[in-house]
Chain A
Amino acid sequence: MDILRFITAGSVDDGKSTLIGRLLYDSKSIMIDQLEAIEKQTKNKEEGEIDLALLTDGLRAEREQGITIDVAYKYFTTPKRKFIIADAPGHIQYTRNMITGASNANLAIILIDARNGVIEQTRRHSIIASLLGIKHIVVAINKMDLVNYSQNIYNNIVIDYAEVAKTLELQNVTYIPISALNGDNIVEKSKNLLWYEGECLLSFLESVEVQSDIDLHHARFPVQYVIRPQTDDLHDYRGYAGKIISGIYKKGDSIIIQPTGIETIISKIEIGGVEVAEAFAPQSVVLHLEDDIDISRGDLIVKKDEQLQVSQEFEVLLCWMDTKPLQIGSKYFLQHNSKNVRSVIKNIEYKLDVNTLTKEFNFEKIGLNDVIKATIKTASPLAFDSYKCLQANGGAILIDETSLVTVGACMIQ
């Protein structure tokens, strides 16, 4: 049994919360006391139906306003998989929250209201999914009950969305007609949609292959912490603790420390105190090296002969996440895995309209939720891959130097 992390994109109006509620409810992941609590809150109950959307909104402000503000994480398990849902808000003013939720997702469910078809919001959510490099997309065409389960309407939406997918170079797009409210095609194939030949949503989520999303070809190991007991019996013990973010490491492998470029050999690998011959992503391990060299947190251990970039200047796609506008020339901390360096935004090439993908070359300011292409210069060299090639080593965050808040998400180009 493995884990599938997915994000649901859509607004309350699209039935997003109802869909999640339905998945939790029909997979029997909701407990009696939780049901009682939402039954109490359900207003205007009709025929004893409960409002499944109430299961997901966790903060008082959200319940009061009937909207989702922040990402909520929900969990359910079937005999085949553990699922982690990042339930993110859909409105444009919460784009940063959707990006947050999307950053760890294997899969995105894009919800489309069958009555409205592909709209601006659908494009925006798809653009964000493509920016963040989500590998699997499910287009859930919802509220089929309100369009008489019409195959024609479904087909037209599929044709429209295929255009979006083509423009964004989205791969692995799966279309499923559903009604979250009635449970059509959620955990069981619907009798109302006999013309649909594919799987129902849950079967698809249970079977979609995500193991190959982990890159086992390029070995990258950011050092998080150095373990040095300095006791009498372990006087010479010096282990580099971290998580392998991609690739495979073996005892005897020749490696290079980046960005210093020093070469040495792996002398021992430990997992939870037990020595192993090899380890792979995403295992947390301790590496030992043959030579005594100066390595500290933030250094990257890569296998010899592997290509990656080591530079102080690079281009990024950057989503601005702070209410305070971005200032060209301002300095920020840049955190890239375990490495933290000072950086400056040198130049902005364009601003990207996340609704249309249009590049705007004339803009007044960069504010909350804006996505831009920019050049960043760092105070010391960074060893990275392009986000497109190796996500695990191509993402970074920007931190404001005084408020210390996370203000930007960078995808290195």
Chain B
Amino acid sequence: MNANQDISSSKIRSLDYLEQLESEAIHIFREVAGQFERPSLLFSGGKDSITLVHLALKAFRPGKFPFPLVHIDTGHNFKEALDFRDELVEQIGEKLIVRKVADTIKKKHLTEPKGKFASRNALQTYTLLDTIEEFNFDCCIGGARRDEEKARAKERIFSIRDEFGQWNPKLQRPELWNIYNGKINKGENVRVFPISNWTELDVWNYIRKEKIQLPSIYFSHEREVIEHEGQLIAVSEFIQIESTDKVTKKKVRYRTVGDMTCTAAVESTAATLEEVVTEIIATKTSERGETRIDDKVSEAAMEDRKKNGYF
């Protein structure tokens, strides 16, 4: 029987949108494996990087990942996310490299940020660049999506960074068809974003479809929070509580998982994936707008950080 006869039969051979996105991401993972000598996967413990790990399993099993997971640890993590990270790594049997921002601060005499929500978010860049240098990584896979933010909407799937880790939005390589040019000169490295074309809802729908496990803080739980400019911030040792702050106990969940200093919670009773997805569909605020304190600073906040070497 040849292909033509098959097509005339009633068999449906088409992929739905999640299958298409999955296949595209797996293709990108395998391009990394085929093109780079020392790649790495940046793993934050959030849902996007957990999705990346799931996709990498599909791309490379029964083989090992051709890269280690790398966690740039700010020291301001949610404990649940760290525990989850360690369990996941043990379960899949892959290598994890952790480098701590606190060590970079000490070694390089960096200035700790001050203020109410003193975030080490910007300092992560130093640790990241040092780690790239330490292991000579020529490629770092990341979970950024283009729907997150306007500057990211312009970034290529294979995004070249210069010796200083900088992104130059005006000198991006044209990226045609599904052909990715990962050739680089010494000192440069490539950031690769396999889920560039996924939206937040696509990720959630995929997690639901594939029954991917997530840290518990993505689901409703009780937590002590303060309210700041309309956002709920978890009480922790990393933020300064002032006498004017009102600490309350609320049922919350996290829509993104970043540092405790710059990630806000949303009030929610959604305890299952089904319920979380339903809430995300109904939401009227963007993921970054609702949950990230750091992006509100300036219109070009992300563009500036990326130019400096940020993920």
Binding site for B on A (CB under 8 A): 1-3, 31-34, 37, 41, 57-61, 63, 69-75, 77, 81-82, 84, 96-97, 99-100, 103-104, 211, 214, 216-217, 219, 224-225, 227-229, 234, 237, 239, 241-243, 245, 247-248, 272-273, 280, 282-284, 297, 303, 321, 333, 335-338, 391-392, 395-397, 399, 404-406, 409
Instruction: Determine whether the beta carbon of A406 is less than 8 Å from that of B174.
Output: yes
Instruction: Determine whether the beta carbon of A31 is less than 8 Å from that of B284.
Output: yes
* Nearest residue, chain B, Cβ from A241: B30
Cα distance A396–B26 in the bound complex, in angstroms = 21
Instruction: Determine whether the beta carbon of B154 is less than 8 Å from that of A70.
Output: yes
Q: Which of B2-10, B116-124, B257-265 contacts A (4 or more CB under 8 A)?
A: B2-10
Residue numbers in B under 8 Å from A84 (CB-CB): 197
Other than the known A3-B17, A73-B196, A282-B20, what 16 A-B pairs have Cβ atoms closer than 8 Å? A2-B20, A31-B286, A31-B289, A75-B199, A99-B174, A216-B13, A224-B33, A225-B66, A248-B3, A272-B57, A282-B24, A333-B183, A337-B179, A399-B181, A404-B183, A406-B176
Residue numbers in A under 8 Å from B177 (CB-CB): 103-104, 391-392, 395
The interface size bin for chain B is: 35 or more
**What are 7 contact pairs spanning A and B, CB under 8 A?**
A73-B154, A99-B176, A214-B14, A228-B63, A282-B23, A392-B177, A404-B185
Instruction: With both chains docked as a complex, state the minimum distance between the C-beta of B118 and any C-beta of chain A, in angstroms.
Output: 24
Cα distance A97–B7 in the bound complex, in angstroms = 36
Residue numbers in B under 8 Å from A282 (CB-CB): 15, 20, 23-24
B150 at the interface (CB under 8 A from A): yes
Among A41, A100, A283, the residue within 8 A (CB) of B23 is A283
Cα distance A96–B64 in the bound complex, in angstroms = 39
Instruction: With both chains docked as a complex, state the minimum distance between the C-beta of B196 and any C-beta of chain A, in angstroms.
Output: 7
Instruction: Determine whether the beta carbon of A71 is less than 8 Å from that of B154.
Output: yes
B27 at the interface (CB under 8 A from A): yes
Among B13, B30, B201, B299, the residue within 8 A (CB) of A225 is B30
Instruction: Determine whether the beta carbon of B34 is less than 8 Å from that of A297.
Output: yes
B147 at the interface (CB under 8 A from A): yes
Cα distance A395–B290 in the bound complex, in angstroms = 42
Instruction: Determine whether the beta carbon of A405 is less than 8 Å from that of B150.
Output: no
Residue numbers in A under 8 Å from B33 (CB-CB): 224-225
B172 at the interface (CB under 8 A from A): yes
B303 at the interface (CB under 8 A from A): yes
* Nearest residue, chain A, Cβ from B307: A60
Residue numbers in B under 8 Å from A242 (CB-CB): 27, 30
Contact with A along B18-35 (1 / 0, CB 8 A): 011111101100110110
B247 at the interface (CB under 8 A from A): no
User: In the complex where A2-B14, A59-B154, A77-B199 touch, is A219 in contact with B285 (Cβ < 8 A)?
Assistant: no
Residue numbers in A under 8 Å from B19 (CB-CB): 283
Residue numbers in A under 8 Å from B303 (CB-CB): 58-60
Contact with A along B287-311 (1 / 0, CB 8 A): 0011000000001100100000000
Instruction: Determine whether the beta carbon of A32 is less than 8 Å from that of B169.
Output: no
User: In the complex where A32-B284, A84-B197 touch, is A37 in contact with B31 (Cβ < 8 A)?
Assistant: no
Instruction: With both chains docked as a complex, state the minimum distance between the C-beta of B182 and any C-beta of chain A, in angstroms.
Output: 9
Instruction: With both chains docked as a complex, state the minimum distance between the C-beta of B255 and any C-beta of chain A, in angstroms.
Output: 12
Instruction: Determine whether the beta carbon of B179 is less than 8 Å from that of A34.
Output: no
Residue numbers in B under 8 Å from A217 (CB-CB): 3-4, 7
Contact with A along B31-73 (1 / 0, CB 8 A): 1011000000000000000000000011111111010000000
Cα distance A75–B151 in the bound complex, in angstroms = 14
Instruction: With both chains docked as a complex, state the minimum distance between the C-beta of A248 and any C-beta of chain B, in angstroms.
Output: 5
Cα distance A70–B290 in the bound complex, in angstroms = 28
B211 at the interface (CB under 8 A from A): no
Contact with A along B191-213 (1 / 0, CB 8 A): 00000110101100000000000
Instruction: Determine whether the beta carbon of B151 is less than 8 Å from that of A409.
Output: no
Instruction: With both chains docked as a complex, state the minimum distance between the C-beta of A78 and any C-beta of chain B, in angstroms.
Output: 12
Contact with A along B146-178 (1 / 0, CB 8 A): 110011111000000000000001101111111
B16 at the interface (CB under 8 A from A): yes
* Nearest residue, chain A, Cβ from B281: A77
Residue numbers in B under 8 Å from A34 (CB-CB): 286, 289
Among B7, B22, B57, B197, the residue within 8 A (CB) of A75 is B197
Instruction: Determine whether the beta carbon of B179 is less than 8 Å from that of A395.
Output: yes
Instruction: With both chains docked as a complex, state the minimum distance between the C-beta of A335 and any C-beta of chain B, in angstroms.
Output: 6
Residue numbers in B under 8 Å from A100 (CB-CB): 174-176
Residue numbers in B under 8 Å from A333 (CB-CB): 183
Instruction: Determine whether the beta carbon of B286 is less than 8 Å from that of A33.
Output: yes
User: In the complex where A242-B30, A405-B173 touch, is A234 in contact with B62 (Cβ < 8 A)?
Assistant: yes
Instruction: Determine whether the beta carbon of A60 is less than 8 Å from that of B6.
Output: no
Instruction: Determine whether the beta carbon of B61 is less than 8 Å from that of A225.
Output: no
Cα distance A216–B9 in the bound complex, in angstroms = 13
B184 at the interface (CB under 8 A from A): yes
Cα distance A70–B151 in the bound complex, in angstroms = 11
Instruction: Determine whether the beta carbon of B27 is less than 8 Å from that of A243.
Output: yes
Cα distance A286–B202 in the bound complex, in angstroms = 25
* Nearest residue, chain B, Cβ from A3: B17
Residue numbers in A under 8 Å from B13 (CB-CB): 216, 248, 280
